[in-house]
Amino acid sequence: MCIAVKNLIEFIATGKSGLYSSVRRYIMNSNGPLRRKSDVLTDDHFLITASAITLALRPFHVADLNINDVGLSDVKDAAEQYCTFLLTVPWLSQCVPAVLLPAFKHASVLSPCLLTLLISKERIFVEMSKLDQSKFCSSCPNLIPSSGWALANIINLATEYDNGSGDSGRFVQGLDCRVYVHSVITISENLLCWLENCGCPRNEENDEYIGNDESSIETADPDILEKTASLGSLKVSYIEAFKPVYQQWHLMKLLAMAKKDFSMPEADTSAANPSFEYCGKLELIDIAFFYSCMLRIFSSFNPMGGSMPTLNMLSFTPGFLVELWRVLEGSFLCQEDHVGNDDKLCKNGISGSHNDIVMEKKQGRVAKDAGNKWTSVLQKITGKSCNDVDYVQSTNSPLGPSLDDGDACDSWDVEPLRRGSQGISKEISCLLHLFCATYAHLLLVLDDIEFYEKQVPFMLEQQRRIASVLNTLVYNGFSHNNGHHNKPLMDAAVRCLHLLYERDCRHRFSPPSLWIAPARKGRPPIAAAARAHEAVTANLRSADALTSPSMGSVITTTPHVFPFEERVQMFREFIKLDKVSRRMAGEVAGPGPGSIEIVVRRDHIVEDGFKQLNFLGSRLKSWINVSFVSECGLPEAGLDYGGLSKEFLTDISRTAFDPGYGLFSQTSTSERCLIPNTAARLVENGMQMIEFLGRVVGKALYEGILLDYSFSLVFVQKLLGRYSFLDELSTLDPELYRNLMYVKHYEGDVRELSLDFTVTEELLGQRVVTELKSGGKNMAVTNENKLQYVHAIADYKLNRQILPLANAFYRGLIDLISPSWLSLFNASEFNQLLSGGKHDFDVDDLRSNTRYTGGYSEGSRTIKLFWEVITGFEPKERCMLLKFVTSCSRAPLLGFKHLQPTFTIHKVACDVPLWAMIGGQDVDRLPSASTCYNTLKLPTYKRPSTLRNKLLYAISSNAGFELS
């Protein structure tokens, strides 16, 4: 009897029997994973199924038969066939009758298979590949390969969970989680390699992934196609199979296992379980590898949101991000007071695939002090590390003493990352990818109170270190032309870096030296950088991004590594190059024949400008000659050599941007910034007028003419193609922001506030109620959904409501200003580009760039008195003077040499009676100005007191244009 059993088991275990392939065919054809509801599993059908599964699993119970002659090699052969033929059955857990499923989940079956997968992965993957290419695979292999189905099945067989809850679940009893984690990583890498080489072909009509062979759809199992149709697409249903991965219990139990492993004796591990020879101990790096692979897989199959549930879980798991950062910080910064100072990590870790890393776990760990590191990982509910007290700053200087230290650039340039992603090991690359993806997701919902005041999950000093690491990585990755190396890491790092930089732009937490540190010693000349930027833009437009110059990629991705003044110079260089190319193309670039002639009535300047210029589009770059008609209907004297065009731009913007005109309104903040009026959509030609004003602003930027206006940062964010988040609402509507923060942090029952998912606004005297989501009128705000409500309100106010208006303005703006030029600046810098620098100016700079006419010279007595007087002015008075002369209160960003036209002081000769001169009387006439020519018309005053008083009176009274 024993011999017969032995022979039977040997026959089953070998490939000669064809048992596993037959069982696979039977399960897929007879027990289709997605049987129609009308199908009934008969008793005979069930008996056959049970018998087939019993035969397939018998070799795994060989130890219970006490047959000494049946060796482990027979079980290994059976396990390889099991992995190849059964684990790759699509939706295996749904194929098998529920009563038989525990047999597949039993540790005596699952664990040997997973261990075999680790040992014989190359041979098993080859067999899976052959299976995909054979007609034997009837489940559309080109949609998802066999390794992909094996991955989903392993996760489902290894876990038991409640479909309706993300907090309850467990791994099957007796499962070795270390073998499980490393098996999932191994097969995930195989699947990712397939995705990279084969990709996920799309059906253009229904956005489903399809095979290269159209006949594969026709021969596909109809049950699978029915399931695909019922769920919308195969990729969605496939990602659903990974549900245990994005439930929090799954991560927490793995972290607990890692903590337990750190406390296990070294001597007993390999002896107690041979799997340790292949897996080592479960560590944080293994868990990070696991979830990093999952994020990449989810993103590949569903780029629009497949990874969202996992990111939600990871970002809100207490202490997880903190632990990831502590290991990364120990690796990159190698500081004694941080955990993770393992020599291997500090030297950028080891190279090679994760499977090679697994085999080397016996020689070393990721961190020597990992036991201490994990003592409190599960108790951290605030997300702060136990060493956070080290980063607490003085209350007098919340940003710390080093914030403005200009000599600290070297400390922000992280040496291990000076080669970009190629300078770090695969281990650290994986940790960093998971950290960046998770933290970027958390930053979307982290408000300023949590970030700056509560300082969770990181203290501000840690935030600066994170920013410096990402900044160095991204800059060097693109500057060394390896931005496309390790694309998942670089994409996640760029996204996280941009979110941190934009938060710093809104409310500074880092010194300026941090952002420019990586490029401090190697920035190219401005002209060269500008040409490289234009080259990469042209290549991107031609879909040839792979040949992009590396420096162009740097400027496109991390423009902030260049100081603001240098980026302004680049912007002017772009325009200079554009004007040169237009001249070479034969376009008119100056006054004379072919220039655009318009006639504008002073009291209808917006309407006349709209009718005569709006249709020109990008031709507005050409020279424009403006003739004004006075309010009396008479043509005004004057020749336009650029000055009247400037006056036209400043006057039309003054009128059109006035809130009383109805196209723009002002924010309720103290800055009173401009933002499109939502009611403009309902006004005749309102959207076209806003588009025209975009062209007006574009023309001013193109010609270097300053407009004395600032737009709301939220509005500018839209022009720059950037999404606005919750905290930016404080710059638009501080009262609404405070109310939302009250709701977000409300400790009682939010139902007491009687809120629903609607927003009410007044348009042209009527109250309009808008639902924030479908059925929002009947959806009460509760403690469970209040975070959704807060972000829905913010999203509506910051993005949805303003987007159509911003798009209209943007269409006009980019007719003259390339989007790639705008990408150099953040929202605040855009306003400076438009309206000038700080609210004061350098008197010496103005003096060096002033022209004198009418008889004045630099040595004239009145001119000497003038410079003496304005040097003694208050900053506010100097700004008033500048606005009086130029119509803008701020100086050009690059100095007065860039002011167009040049600042001019013109002599106004005044006849003074002889008796007045004898009596010491000075000139009575007031100064005046021609703003179109940036000219101050200054009488010949003799006394500084007279000049000062007359000048202050004139600029305070806003005495305007006077044509001499």
Q: What is the pLDDT of residue 4?
A: 61
Pairing between strand 903-908 and 159-161?
Answer: unpaired
Strand partners, 767: 762
Q: What is the pLDDT of residue 144?
A: 87
Q: What is the pLDDT of residue 196?
A: 87
Q: What is the pLDDT of residue 303?
A: 84
User: Could you tell me the end-to-end alpha-carbon distance of the chain, in angstroms, rounded to an integer?
Assistant: 123
Question: Contact 517/471 with Cβ under 8 angstroms?
Answer: yes
More confident call, 553 vs 199: 553
CA angle, 619 then 622 then 624, to 5°: 110
Half-sphere exposure of 207 (CA within 13 A, CB side): 6
More confident call, 375 vs 646: 646
Compute the average pLDDT of residues 517-523: 85
Q: What's the pLDDT band for 408 if we cut at 50, 70, 90?
A: low
Task: State the Cα torsion 854-858-860-866 to the nearest 10°.
Answer: 100
**What is the distance between the alpha carbons of residues 949 and 927, in angstroms, rounded to a whole number?**
11
Report the amino acid identity of residue 530. Answer: A
Q: What is the pLDDT of residue 396?
A: 35
714-723 per-position pLDDT tens digit:
999 999 999 8
More confident call, 888 vs 371: 888
Range from 271-280, 378-387, 578-587, 869-878 carrying the lowest mean pLDDT = 378-387
Q: Which of 94-98, 766-770, 826-830 has the highest mean pLDDT?
A: 826-830
Task: Give percent of the chain with pLDDT exceeding 70.
Answer: 76
Q: What is the pLDDT of residue 59?
A: 83
The residue assigned the tokens 């037959």 is: 22
Query: Token digits for 663?
Result: 């196209």
In Å, how far from its chain's centre is CA 587? Answer: 39
Task: State the Cα torsion 230-235-238-239 to the nearest 10°.
Answer: -110
Residues 6+ apart with CB under 8 A from 413: 468, 472, 517, 518, 520
Query: Does residue 378 register a pLDDT over 50?
Result: no
Task: State the Cα torsion 576-577-583-588 to the nearest 10°.
Answer: -40
Q: Is position 673 annotated as part of the catalytic site? A: no
**What is the distance between the alpha carbons of residues 357 and 352, in angstroms, rounded to a whole number?**
7
Residues 6+ apart with CB under 8 A from 828: 505, 713
Question: Contact 477/551 with Cβ under 8 angstroms?
Answer: no
Compute the average pLDDT of residues 375-395: 34
Q: What is the pLDDT of residue 587?
A: 78
CA dist list (Å): 883 to 178, 650, 671, 706, 902:
71, 11, 18, 10, 14
**What is the distance between the alpha carbons of residues 116 and 342, in angstroms, rounded to a whole number?**
31
Query: Does residue 919 register a pLDDT over 70?
Result: no
**What is the distance between the alpha carbons of residues 201 and 217, in angstroms, rounded to a whole number?**
13
Question: Contact 78/112 with Cβ under 8 angstroms?
Answer: no
Query: Does residue 859 register a pLDDT over 60?
Result: yes
Q: What is the pLDDT of residue 596?
A: 86
Q: Identify the active-site residue in 177, 293, 888, 932.
A: 932
**Could you give phi then psi for residue 538, rounded to 5 degrees?**
-65, -40
Compute the average pLDDT of residues 832-844: 88
More confident call, 906 vs 349: 906
Question: Contact 514/412 with Cβ under 8 angstroms?
Answer: yes
272-289 per-position pLDDT tens digit:
444 445 556 899 999 999
729-787 per-position pLDDT tens digit:
998 999 999 999 999 999 999 999 999 999 998 887 788 899 999 999 999 999 999 99
> Which long-range CB contacts under 8 A does 39-45 form with residues at least 24 apart?
41/97
**Could you give phi then psi for residue 118, rounded to 5 degrees?**
-70, -40
Strand partners, 758: 771
Nearest to 568 by CA among 824, 202, 291: 824
Q: What is the pLDDT of residue 554?
A: 83
Query: Token digits for 510?
Result: 């880092």
**What is the distance between the alpha carbons of residues 648 and 602, in angstroms, rounded to a whole number?**
9
More confident call, 591 vs 239: 239
Query: What is the 3-class SS of 718-751, one letter each residue?
Result: HHCCCCCCHHHHHHCCHHHHHHHHHHHCCCCCHH
923-938 per-position pLDDT tens digit:
788 999 988 788 999 9
Q: What is the pLDDT of residue 235?
A: 74
Q: What is the pLDDT of residue 505?
A: 92
Query: Does residue 887 register a pLDDT over 50?
Result: yes
Q: For the chain, percent helix, then strand, then coil, each to nearest 5? A: 60, 5, 35
Q: What's the pLDDT band for 964 if we cut at 50, 70, 90?
A: very low
| DSSP H or E segment with residue 903 | strand 903-908
Query: Does residue 579 register a pLDDT over 80?
Result: yes
**What is the distance between the alpha carbons of residues 473 and 422, in angstroms, rounded to a whole number?**
10
Q: What is the pLDDT of residue 350?
A: 31
More confident call, 167 vs 928: 928
| DSSP H or E segment with residue 410 | helix 409-412
More confident call, 552 vs 402: 552
